[in-house]
Amino acid sequence: MAISAWPTETAADALAGFSVEDHIGFLLRRAHQRHVAIFTAGMAHAELTPTQFTALLKTVELGRITQNHLGRLAAMDPATIQGVVRRLTARGLMRRGPDKMDRRTAVLEPTEAGVALIASAVACARKAHEAALSPLAPAERDQVMSLLRKMG
Amino acid sequence: MAISAWPTETAADALAGFSVEDHIGFLLRRAHQRHVAIFTAGMAHAELTPTQFTALLKTVELGRITQNHLGRLAAMDPATIQGVVRRLTARGLMRRGPDKMDRRTAVLEPTEAGVALIASAVACARKAHEAALSPLAPAERDQVMSLLRKMG
DNA sequence: CGCCGATCATTCGCGTGCAAACGAGCAGCT
DNA sequence: AGCTGCTCGTTTGCACGCGAATGATCGGCG
């Protein structure tokens, strides 16, 4: 019997049937990379990264919001949102002010420039969304959005 | 007519019907983040990041490979794979040697420690794969893998 | 009132991810 | 031989992303 003649434990055994290309993490990383590339190219004139766009848009939508709260809505931890907000305020796209009720928090609100920029940025984001999904049929686009939402 | 009474251009117009949560980039970023968290937790004992795991696995599979070639297979650009390989070689999981035929390239190969580590790492990666897909039904898992492959 | 756990924001360190620029080496072509 | 264009690998700079630690503040509870 050929099977019993195999070594009991080999690296090949553990690797059998495993391919990185079939790993969900690999596919997610690749798809995300591709979207960032598409988004960045389309957003060239506005110079907003995907995370900066998300943070600024949420701020414009909500008007006044705490930094950590904004981070939770935008799926960024406190350490990350801190840097994003710092870069956006440095560019004059949002403003930070103190909160009279809670001296720990910094309340954020968009500036005129931020509101003005977000309109054209949304248009670019729509195009990036379409471009990233362009390899898929319309029904498939709905599917992948729904499935990713469940995985979130 | 109410419509003609509206302002010609407002930020609200551009934002109408747009929600970051419905943007493919946002969903990809969130799903990817979640997978990295799951993978990292499961790989705690091996101390391999997803990219390090991918690079090491590919090296073990192929035996001898050029750094840039490895990067292409693992979906990392030259600047990124350089850092990944540097950390893996520093930990003694792979080795770099010169190529007699082409003095530009550095040929990589796994060490004994690298081969030994990859076996248990693959088991952890399988678990992370299952855990990341756990919110989905079996048929949906195949769907999302197939769709992400098309988007790659 | 004082204490204590939770929350807010910041900082450090490490690891991706990529554009851009660079020097070295290879191959083909004249 | 020289030239040209390509590839290989590296470095720098910037931007996420997060674990962990820190300090300030808030809230509730005794």
Q: Write the residue in A24, A50, A152 that is nearest to B133 by C-beta.
A: A24
| B104-CA/D10-C1' distance, Å | 12
User: Which nucleotides on strand C sit less than 7 A from a protein beta carbon?
Assistant: 7-13, 15-21, 23-27
Q: List, in order, residues 6 or more apart from B116 with CB less than 8 Å away.
A: A11
The pLDDT of residue B17: 79
Q: Compute the average pLDDT of residues A33-47.
A: 96
Mean pLDDT of the residues in chain B: 92
Q: What's the pLDDT tens digit per position in B104-122?
A: 999 999 999 999 999 999 9
The reply to whether A66 has its C-beta less than 7 Å from any atom of strand C is yes
B17: closest CA of chain A, how far (Å): 11
* Residue among B27, B70, B127 with most chain A CBs within 10 A, to mutate: B27
Provide the pLDDT confidence category of residue B11 given band limits of 50, 70 and 90. low
The pLDDT of residue B6: 47
Distance of CA B77 to CAs A26, A55, A71, B83, Å?
A: 15, 27, 29, 10
Q: Compute the average pLDDT of residues B43-65.
A: 96
* A12-16, A93-97, A133-137, B46-50, range with the lowest pLDDT: A12-16
Chain B 74-93 contacts with nucleic strand C (CB below 7 A): 75-80, 83-84, 87
The pTM (predicted TM-score) of the whole model is 0.91
Q: Residue B97 above 70 pLDDT? A: yes
The residue of chain A nearest to residue B133, with distances taken between CA atoms, is A151
The pLDDT of residue A14: 61
The pLDDT of residue A129: 98
Which ranges constitute the DSSP H helices of chain B? 11-15, 24-42, 50-62, 67-73, 78-90, 112-133, 138-151
Q: Residue B33 above 60 pLDDT? A: yes
Provide the pLDDT confidence category of residue A5 given band limits of 50, 70 and 90. low
Mean pLDDT of the residues in chain A: 92
Provide the pLDDT confidence category of residue B14 given band limits of 50, 70 and 90. low
Q: Which residues pair with A95 in a beta bridge?
A: A109
